[in-house]
A and B are shown apart, each in its own frame.
Chain A
Amino acid sequence: MDYLYFAIRRLLQAVLVMFVISLIGFSIQDNLGDPLRELVGQSVSEKERQALRDRMGLNDPFFIQYGRFLGKAVQGDLGNSYFFKKPALEVIAAKFPATLELVIGATIIIISFALPFGVYCAIRPKSWFAKFIMGFSIIGISVPVFLTAIFSIYIFSVELGWMPSFGRGETRDLLGWNSGFFTQDGLVHLVLPSISLASIMMPLFIRLIRSEMMEILQMEYIRFAWAKGLLPRRVWFLHAFKNTLLPVITVGGVQVGTMLAYTILTESVFQWPGMGFLFLEAVNRVDTPLIIAYIIVVGLIFVVTNTFVDLLYTWVNPTVKLVGQKS
């Protein structure tokens, strides 16, 4: 019951945030070039243009246009892409699996390396391996993602010829999800883009996990756990690790959103046919409905992941009281 109440409140907040995002997104429309020029080209006279403007409602006041946009948006209609002549949402939905694939690939890489490395660096801060990881992570933080991407293409595709240099590879349908995860060719294509995308977050997570865990290991309850005569692995991986997870989850949730933003860079370097690549093309073509739709979809993903993280946080941390819960 409390959980339901909390979820409803959280949902209302999410709706409010989405409303603001849509307002900002839509206000771009008036300032991002003339949609008519993209639609009809040079040969149409100014009089015909005005008539077309009236018919499309582009001369109406901002809020009437916005109201119309919002009314359609809640029904899942974000307008038609000028370039593709198809609903913008449909265009984005077609590219979404590719981007999701990339984000999942990068997340798997981050979790499977950052967690063990971070924990190791916290437990054995003086070992040479921990020092090596920390030194390396400084480099990782400082090198921009497009540089990592270009270098990895140069080394592994051009020089060594181990990996394909661009594109998504073969995909296959499984349970309604069309993805490169299910074919060998798709997986091979995924390796370099995932690594470059992960490289930007990985050092941050290793450092975050290390510093949080080192702080936790100084806590009195950890000393008490030692005093109880527990095995080191129980003290480290249960008592300390569970407490370390709390801040890591909070930061991690926000970073998933940031990672989506970085897919724009990664996808354009690797010519990955995802949402980010699509967005860059849309900007070049002044495809305003598509740009707005992209902003709203990404905003929605941000809001959904953050809501999910909040729910996860209350589940991991028993001391967090749900909003509105009677104690």
Chain B
Amino acid sequence: MALLEVTDLEVEFPLVRKTLKAIHGISFNLEKGERLGIVGESGAGKSVAAFAVLNLLSKPGRISNGKIRFEDVELSGLDAKSMRHIRGNRISMIFQDPMMTLNPVLTVGTQMIECLKAHRKISNSDARELSITKLREVLIPSPENRMKSYPHELSGGMRQRVVIAIALLTDPSIIIADEPTTALDVTIQAEIMTLMLDLCKTKNLGLILITHDLAVVSQVTERILVMYAGRVVEEGLTRDVINNPRHPYTRGLIKALPQENKPGERLNQIRGTMPSLGAIPPGCAFNPRCDFADNACELEVPDLMGADSHRAACIHMDKIPAFSDEEAGK
């Protein structure tokens, strides 16, 4: 049985006039120590799905249907006290912008020690020692001094390391990272991703990496979930999905990446934009932007099809051509 099992998860935002559905029934599993990537454009519902797992949805969002099982505990509808025991203890989160994640008026030390004290009976001095150890694990120089620092005294990369150290404090079994490198410089991005990959491997940590950066996902994760307009449109092993995408949306995302051997050339892009939650087209939500679409695509929402290791939600998936060598950038 998987460590985390999400089944038919639906999230909706009841507004004054109507209710918007952000997630239309997605399912995925995470095994112990597995690294799963969730990719998609802004507005696809990736972050909402992640926040739903820990019931941290922004108001008025709520889980309207589905099951979230973690180590035999059902997380949806869990009481506040038991949920607190999971949050930051068994499942940790890393947020997008390290400039915004740490409280500006509290020292790094305070923000680390409070997390430990929330979950264990531990003395202040032991909590301090353990925090320093974790800061050292994320390669922060002179961690003793950094404990006394305020967030604004650290660089963006250092702050994200502190956030990662906080996420690791209680030795969780899953870390959910919501675009952990998007707000950082490119060089720092690589450092942080390498650090996270190393930590996950050495500690056998489960990782759910939410990102729109396919390059990052392909280097770090073992499995990928591609989301579009609140649905999973493709899932499979990372190398299968990247090398041989079966959904036109995934194919478009990969083709949109800049390729090293074609400098100066115009980048491919998927025409149009992601539909807003209130205006999702009938049938396959991607059909107005799809090069392979025909009338049949507008009739009904396709299910995920294909072998268990690589499935896509496209009725024309067999007609999607494989990447030519040139398209694959080889």
Contacts and interface: CB of A to CB of B under 8 A. Distances in A.
Interface centre among A219, A224, A316 (most CB of B within 10 A): A224
Interface string A199-243: 000000000000000000011110111111111101000110011
B95 A319 contact: no
B105 A223 contact: no
A219 B118 contact: no
B54 interface: yes
A219 B100 contact: yes
Nearest to A225: B103
B87 A238 contact: no
Nearest to A234: B114
Nearest to B89: A229
Contacts of A239: 103, 106
Contacts of B106: 238-239, 242
A230 B114 contact: yes
Interface in B90-144: 92-93, 95-97, 100-106, 114-115, 118-119
Nearest to A220: B100
Contacts of A224: 93, 95, 101-103, 163
SS class, residues of chain A in contact with chain B: helix
Count class of interface residues, chain B: 20 to 34
A239 B166 CA distance: 16
A81 to B, nearest CB: 48
Interface in B34-63: 54, 56, 58
Given A224-B102, A243-B103, 20 more contacts: A219-B100, A220-B101, A221-B100, A221-B103, A224-B93, A227-B87, A227-B92, A227-B93, A228-B88, A228-B92, A228-B115, A229-B119, A230-B115, A232-B80, A234-B118, A239-B106, A242-B106, A316-B105, A318-B152, A319-B104
Interface of B: 54, 56, 58, 80, 84-89, 92-93, 95-97, 100-106, 114-115, 118-119, 150, 152, 163, 166
12 contacts: A220-B97, A223-B58, A224-B163, A227-B56, A229-B89, A232-B80, A242-B103, A243-B105, A316-B105, A317-B104, A318-B105, A318-B152
